[in-house]
Structure 1
Amino acid sequence: LLIFDGLDESRLSLDFRNNEVVSDVSQQSSVNVLLTNLIRGKLLPSALVWITSRPAAANQIPPECVDRVTEVRGFTDAQKEEYFRRRWSDEDLSSRIISHIKSSRSLHIMCLIPVFCWITAAVLDHMLTTDQRGELPQTLTDMYSHFLLVQTKRKKQKYEEGHETSPQQLTEADREVLLKLGRLAFEHLEKGDIMFYQEDLQRCGLDFTEALVHSGVCTEIFKRERVIFRKTVYCFVHLSIQEFLAAVYMLHCYTNRNTEVLKDFLQRDWDEDNDSSDDDYHQDYPSLDVFLEGAMEKSLQSENGHLDLFVRFLHGLSLESNQRLLGGLLGRTDNSPETIQRAISNLKEMSSDEFSPDRMINIFHCLTEMKDHSVHQEITEFLKSENRSEEKLSLIHCSALAYMLQMSEEVLDELDLDQYNTSLEGRLRLIPAVRNCRKAKLNDDELSETLCEVVASALKSDPSHLRDLDLSESLLMDSGVERLSSGLESPNCRLEALRLRSCRLSEISCSALASALKSNIHLRHLGLRFHAQQDSGMELLRELLESPDCRLETLSLRCCGLSEISFP
């Protein structure tokens, strides 16, 4: 048994495609080559390999190399309440805090993360037990902004014997350290790094010992650990703190017109792109709404969504209330009501069928951070309506609806895309709701591969609610069927009926499907009507039926154009 603990802390380049094959235990090679060969089973093929990692780094490992995944899940709703009730002996105070958290859906959902519960407890305890006045945090950006101030106040009480110029004011030393931490957070967030070494801190002008003493903020958001060979590594207490400080740094660069950093991040040259007739640009510098739109597009282009929360924070920090709260840290920008409204309109109108529907939901989250609840209210009214099929849904409506259906405590009986009046891209954005329904009818010959990826995710989820899946008339390419098959093979899959009428499956697809169904003990009904199929493809399905592991009770093959050889 080989245990690799903390893959996310490693900076090894795991090139599974191009690394040389090493199968001889006596052959000398680099650590990253040895690791890829161990994971692929080329080296010590009978050994067991156990890897612990945060999700982002786990994505480096090819799915075909993974036999089992165990997820450490966060708090349930009941455990969230239990955490806050145990945190205070004052029952009235804990009840007030629980009530406030439940009033904000984004805060309540984030409390599944224990560290976020700790951050929330620190902020709300300070705000409700001191003379501090003001509205309690409603969004994630509000909460993390207040968290910085709470830690700053504690630092002043500890190191300055309680002498404060203002309990809500960051000193110049605080701002300097936080911006250096922000630069470290941002530069490594782009690379996907969450662990740092002494040289990384030095490049950002950070002396950890000095920062620890003079900032005080660092003691609760940044820590150091000693790992193998006694080399010190550093990390933020939680990835969300790194993402928040990265957003603080980026908005600081924007407000201070650091065009070099902005151009590198957005990968555009405003001097070349600038059109004198375009009012969105002021010479070589974009307006706030255009900058935020570019940041959103950049986040959607990332394959693993590592910039999603960063962009949510960036939108929240653009509001005057948060800029005022963090006075002096962000600088000043044009966040007039007109500019903010343009930014909100850009989010609502953003359109692209190039990105995963799961990723597009982040647009809805950004609206929440900007405290625009109009879409949420409209979808709430839509769900109450008796004439849903007559109401036209925009793209942002579909993303919001998919999210709300996913997060509902009630499992949806049926998701039928034909029941929603929207565009093709709108139908695509609705697909993530399949994760919280018992029956799904996703009939569309243009949804294809993206559909299979999301459905496979739904079949793998724990718990998986889907029992009846109809993908008839969908153009399922071989790669799409392979993704779907990975879901059917999952031990969490509880699917009982699968309909693939008129999906024109190839021999490769039939092979993947037959292989997956051999290990599926729940599927009872399979429909493959109207497939003009090759004999070889159907031969694979016949072998499936003859397998002792097959649990199918009904196999519909009407009008499949079969010869006498293909099926008895």
Structure 2
Amino acid sequence: MTEVRGFTDAQKEEYFKRRFRNKELSSRIISHLKTSRNLYIMCGIPVYCWITATVLEHMLTTEERGELPKTLTDMYSHFLLVQTKKKQKYHKGQEMSWQELTSADKEVLLKLGRLAFEHLQKKNILFYQEDLEQCGLDVTEASVYSGVCTEIFKRECVIFQKPVYCFVHLSVQEFLAAVYMFHCYTNRKTEVLQDFFTEDDKGKKISPEDISSLEDFLSRAMEESQLIPNGHLELFVRFLHGLSIKSNQRLLGGLLGQTENSPEIIQRVIKNLKEVNSWGKCPDRCINIFHCLIEIEHLSVNQEIQEFLNSQNKSEKKLSEIHCSALAHMLLMSEEVKDEFDLEKYNTTYAGRWRLLPAMVMYRKARLYDVYVFGGNCGALALALTSDPSHLRELHMKSVKLEKDAEELFTHLGHPNCRLEILSFENSTLSERNCAALLSALKSNPPYLKRLDLIGCNLEGSGMKQLYDYLESPHCKLQFKRETSV
């Protein structure tokens, strides 16, 4: 097994200082990244540091300058152009603007985009000759793996010397897939769109009229990504939103096609993002909604949360659901492990509290109040219990209802990374399946758990008696409390 941990903040800066001998250049790059916090966070991925260095070096050391990228889509758009223009030195003839793509460039890039999109859906990152040929790519052309594709697409020989192709990084595949999908939207390739947007949330077949406007197209893409539990389309959807704004469309020229993106339309896109109904999905998925707002350069939510974090009277500020996703993201990005996460201290809705759950991973003690725990949000709890390292030592749940499929929560108590010492339920409901799962976990003797409280809880079915019999037996070494609090 290989674990890629990524760069710490100190290692990010060390990378750029080592990459460039010119101290002024490395200093300017680091300074720009720190002012664009979302880019600085992404530099935890080593490949992204390389992409960033490639783009910013080109823009800061040549005459082809402009405003430096501030969003992820902007950065990848520039990266695509930089790599494409590397081959111009081999071409004779009329000089072209660095932002101008030849028709041959566009053709190859869209074919690569089709390959990227079709195989992103299948979760494939390796391709063979027949895969390229199905997308119209001629593997005998040097341009497939050199020139325009020098740092985008690679060719290697592995077992039996059979050529295998791949993008230099999954994020590059996701970006090109988004470019292709956006091109299909603007050029009304309805078959491709309908194949991707199979059904709406009511099971109704999608028609071309359902995706006729930009806001409908982006809204359907967000819905599609939310339906996938592991989130493998999140960055793809993030890029789609970034490609919808004029600056990135100008940057990529005719590659995307023409679309209406007036301020009124973008405002409707923003409104749709803020009103996404993600109930029942893993709350981690909701954070990508906030990322999409950043990509379309809507920064007010980010600014409002920064003000909230700096305020003295946090309980007076009413937080919307999108505020909660943004707050969860910012708490996750902090390198400081905090003492207590208490949902009761946040003035928000039921759904807002649910969206805050991913932030638990950065706390030693968590107090959950008035939430449902079910398969869709067990992921946030599981991550807090099993992350490496796991900081959580106490988990207190008050007025919580555990659904039938929430027994997964208890299986994590025996995980090698779990360091939970106190597990407490107060005035909560545990189903018979929950009781059985908890009993099984306790019998496996989770090494760090010392105390279990079931104060005023409703335990359903025969599992209640079996659980209490075990807890009150001499074999159980846990401190146990179940009486109603006085």
Structure-2-length-normalised TM-score: 0.92
Distance 1:480 1:177, change over 3 A: same
Q: Distance in 2 between matches of 1:437 and 1:100?
A: 30
Distance 1:167 1:215, change over 3 A: farther
**8 Å contact from structure 2 (residues 197, 206) kept in 1:** no
Q: Distance in 2 between matches of 1:427 and 1:381?
A: 19
Residue 367 in structure 1 maps to residue 293 in structure 2: yes
Q: Distance in 1 between matches of 2:257 and 2:434?
A: 56
Residue 92 in structure 1 maps to residue 13 in structure 2: no
Aligned-partner SS, 1:402: helix
What residue in structure 1 maps to residue 370 of structure 2? 444
Residue 546 in structure 1 maps to residue 475 in structure 2: yes
What residue in structure 1 maps to residue 129 of structure 2? 198
**Matched ranges for 1:35-114 at <5 A:** 52=1, 71-114=3-46
Residue 251 in structure 1 maps to residue 182 in structure 2: yes
Q: Distance in 2 between matches of 1:346 and 1:98?
A: 34
Provide Cα deviations, 1:32-64, integer angstroms capped at 9, x if missing partner.
xxxxxxxxxxxxxxxxxxxx5xxxxxxxxxxxx
Match for 2:271: what amino acid? Answer: S
Deviation at 1:342, TM superposition (A): 1.2
**8 Å contact from structure 2 (residues 354, 371) kept in 1:** no
What residue in structure 1 maps to residue 283 of structure 2? 357
Q: Looking at both structures, which has the greater relative contact order when contacts are Cα pairs under 8 Å and sequence separation is at least 6?
A: 2
Residue 485 in structure 1 maps to residue 410 in structure 2: yes
Aligned-partner SS, 2:401: coil
What residue in structure 2 maps to residue 435 of structure 1? 361
**8 Å contact from structure 2 (residues 194, 206) kept in 1:** no
Residue 389 in structure 1 maps to residue 315 in structure 2: yes
Q: Distance in 1 between matches of 2:206 and 2:280?
A: 23
Deviation at 1:331, TM superposition (A): 1.0
Note the residue ranges of structure 2 that are not aligned, 5 or more in a row: none
Provide Cα deviations, 1:405-463, integer angstroms capped at 9, x if missing partner.
11123223222212222221111111111111122111225344444331121111112
What residue in structure 2 maps to residue 419 of structure 1? 345
Residue 141 in structure 1 maps to residue 73 in structure 2: yes
What residue in structure 1 maps to residue 425 of structure 2? 500
Provide Cα deviations, 1:167-211, integer angstroms capped at 9, x if missing partner.
221111110000000000001111111111111100110013315
What residue in structure 2 maps to residue 150 of structure 1? 82
What residue in structure 1 maps to residue 383 of structure 2? 457
Provide Cα deviations, 1:349-402, integer angstroms capped at 9, x if missing partner.
222313211101110000011111000011111122222222221111111111
What residue in structure 1 maps to residue 482 of structure 2? 557
What residue in structure 2 maps to residue 516 of structure 1? 441
What residue in structure 2 maps to residue 49 of structure 1? none
**8 Å contact from structure 1 (residues 435, 458) kept in 2:** yes
Q: Distance in 1 between matches of 2:457 and 2:314?
A: 34
Deviation at 1:541, TM superposition (A): 2.9
What residue in structure 2 maps to residue 563 of structure 1? none
**8 Å contact from structure 2 (residues 280, 377) kept in 1:** no
Deviation at 1:514, TM superposition (A): 4.0
Residue 169 in structure 1 maps to residue 169 in structure 2: no
Structure with bigger gyration radius: 1
Q: Distance in 2 between matches of 1:72 and 1:126?
A: 28
Provide Cα deviations, 1:255-308, integer angstroms capped at 9, x if missing partner.
111111112222259x9878xxxxxx9x67611111111111111111211110
What residue in structure 2 maps to residue 60 of structure 1? none
**8 Å contact from structure 1 (residues 432, 454) kept in 2:** yes
Q: Distance in 2 between matches of 1:272 and 1:532?
A: 42
Match for 2:469: what amino acid? Answer: E
Deviation at 1:109, TM superposition (A): 1.5
**8 Å contact from structure 2 (residues 174, 235) kept in 1:** yes
What residue in structure 2 maps to residue 48 of structure 1? none
Aligned-partner SS, 1:440: strand
What residue in structure 2 maps to residue 128 of structure 1? 60
Distance 1:100 1:421, change over 3 A: same
Q: Distance in 2 between matches of 1:190 and 1:310?
A: 10
Deviation at 1:539, TM superposition (A): 2.5
Distance 1:273 1:263, change over 3 A: closer
**8 Å contact from structure 1 (residues 289, 342) kept in 2:** yes
**8 Å contact from structure 2 (residues 385, 412) kept in 1:** yes
Match for 1:530: what amino acid? Answer: G
Query: For 2:216, which of 290, 293, 304 is the aligned residue?
Result: 290
Q: Distance in 1 between matches of 2:299 and 2:93?
A: 40
Aligned-partner SS, 1:101: helix
Q: Distance in 2 between matches of 1:284 and 1:439?
A: 46
Match for 2:293: what amino acid? Answer: L
**8 Å contact from structure 2 (residues 428, 458) kept in 1:** no
Aligned-partner SS, 1:463: coil
**8 Å contact from structure 1 (residues 457, 487) kept in 2:** no
Q: Distance in 1 between matches of 2:298 and 2:83?
A: 29
